[in-house]
Structure 1
Amino acid sequence: MTSNTTGSPPPNIPTPPEPAVKINTVTAEDIKAALKAGFADFLARPVLSGFFGLFYAGFGILFVWILVSLGQLWMIIPAIVGFPLVAPFAAAGLYEMSRRLQKDEAFTWSDILTVMANQRKREMGWMAFVTLFVFWVWSYQVRLWLAIILQDTSFSDFGGFLSIVFFTPEGWTFLAIGTIAGAVLSAILFSLTVVAMPMLLERETNFVTAMVTSVRVVTENPRVMLIWAAIISVTMLLSLVPAFLGLIFTLPILGHTTWHLYQRAVPPEPA
């Protein structure tokens, strides 16, 4: 008697989850060593590294100009403060430079500038989506708090906006709530991306595993990673003061440093 199951397709076997990635203990000395290595990478190819900083600064200037042209003066400060949120995504080419310099591999401008397109199968695009989504949430919540706290206040010019924000009780309330909300969003995005993007660049893994690994690095090394987050935040914000131009130098150095810190936090895959 012929079995009814003959020729039937085999049952779907679920793909086993990826094993948890090992996490190293990171110290302040690791940050110092990573900064030293990051600065060395910048000096090794200063023009190419500086191009990423110049592009990022140019985009920031263009963004502010568009806001002024559209009369969205209230968005200038939130945009400037939130602008560093997308820096990890902008630094992807810098991670690739550091990876190749570390392995003593030759590379051209084309190799680095096309790194995002070449990584499309490694789910880097999903990380870009996460980054831009958090930036959108930041912008939306600023508009929400403006509507709730400052209500019908009109801003005829940027100076008037600054005057209301910094010299009125309502403005102080807005700043306080905005600072807290911004700190929470920044902490979330930092935890999700600090090693996720370098990891996606180096390994064949999915973006969920990369983000989980990134969060574990932060939660297992909270004090040191808080120091690193503070270094990034202060450096980036100070770099915005001279018309974004400080980013030409600071963004590349921080990007290269992030790669080396990732290498210290996440050991290489077993051969």
Structure 2
Amino acid sequence: MTSKTSGPIPPGNPTPQQPGSPAVKKVTVDDITESLKAGFSDFLARPVMSGFFGLFYAVFGILFVWCLFWLGKIWMVIPAAIGFPLVAPFAAAGLYEMSRRLQQGKNFGWSEVLTVMIKQRKREMGWMAFVTLFILWVWFYQFRTVLVIVLQDSSFSDLNGFLNTVFYTQEGWTFLAIGTCLGAFLSAVLFSVTVITMPMLLDRDIDFISAMLTSIRVVLESPAVMLAWAAIVAVTMLLSLVPAFLGLIFTLPILGHTTWHLYLRAVSPAEG
């Protein structure tokens, strides 16, 4: 594991934290690279099982967008496509369990992995899911608010009309500028509170607030590297949506497995 520190702290030691809170480490580019390699290795170890989670996520995305068309909510297609990847950390819980068992050398089948969320129902992951969905709701709400304020005199009855309004009018450019800034802020908030929270909740007996605070400390400890990781995830997920969400069959599992290994590198092992 590659880790850098500065000041009087000996190299390799985690940054001191308050007693009782998980200690975090600096994350380097090498950590990202090695985590990606380990994530890809986990995917190859169980490609069918890993791909199942990606397929399930992709199918859900397709049905979600289809429902928006069916309900006539054309304006929601763009925020849905952009915001959809924000819930990926929660959707990848089964992938974290797979990586954990592969790392420990344990045998496992479909039942152990598919029931991981049920087994977590008495722990804190349900609350974290609520936080994730709440931020996603705020994302849709702010998009709708900006849409009404900026494009109040515009009308569109289909997706092409909506896209033409957004990309080929001055009001549309204003809408994109404001929406992009707000969306980037919400994405940064959600990334900071979830980047290693889900794996930690699966791995440790810890409350979701402490897990979120630890996730934020990881980001603050290595802001440039974690920003680079956020960019990798965002670009990869968005490109995966282009071929009718089907790219997620491969990218979601690899990123999910990678997140597990990044969590192990970013947070010191629990004592005992």
Q: TM-score range by the shorter chain?
A: over 0.9
**Aligned residue number for residue 158 of structure 1:** 159
Residues matched between the structures, number: 255
* SS at structure 2 position matched to 1:107: coil
The one-letter code sitting in structure 1 at the alignment partner of 2:192 is S
Partner of 2:134: 133
Report the Cα distance in structure 1 between the residues aligned to 2:75 and 2:98, rounded to whole angstroms: 37
SS at match of 1:121: coil
Could you say which residue in structure 1 is the equivalent of 2:5?
none
Moved more, 185-194 or 149-158: 149-158
Q: Which moved more, 1:151-160 or 1:196-205?
A: 151-160
Amino acid at match of 1:232: V
Match of 1:241 in 2: 242
**Cα RMSD (Å) of the superposition?**
1.0
Give secondary structure in 1 for the equivalent of 2:206: coil
Deviation at 1:18, TM superposition (A): 6.8
Partner of 2:23: 22
Corresponding position of 2:145: 144
SS in 1 for 2:65: helix
Which whole-Å CA distance do the structure 2 matches of 1:114 and 1:135 have between them?
25
Q: CA deviation at 1:153?
A: 2.0
Quote the sequence identity (%). 71
CA distance in 2, matches of 1:18, 1:115: 30
Report the counterpart of residue 208 of structure 2 in structure 1: 207
Structure 2 distance, partners of 1:251, 1:152, is 39
Q: How does 1:27-176 map to 2 (within 5 A)?
A: 27-176=28-177
* C-alpha deviation, 1:119, in angstroms: 1.0
Give the Cα separation in 2 of the matches to 1:67 and 1:162: 15
In structure 1, the gaps of 5 or more residues are 1-16
- In the other structure, the counterpart of 1:223 is 224
- d(CA) in 1 for partners of 2:19 and 2:97? 24
Change (3 A) 1:91 1:18: farther
**1:130 maps to amino acid:** V
Q: C-alpha displacement at 1:42, in angstroms?
A: 0.2
Residue 122 of structure 1: how far off its partner (Å): 2.0
TM-score by length of 1: 0.93
Q: Aligned partners of 2:212, 2:221: CA distance in 1, in Å?
A: 14
**Number of the residue aligned with 1:4:** none
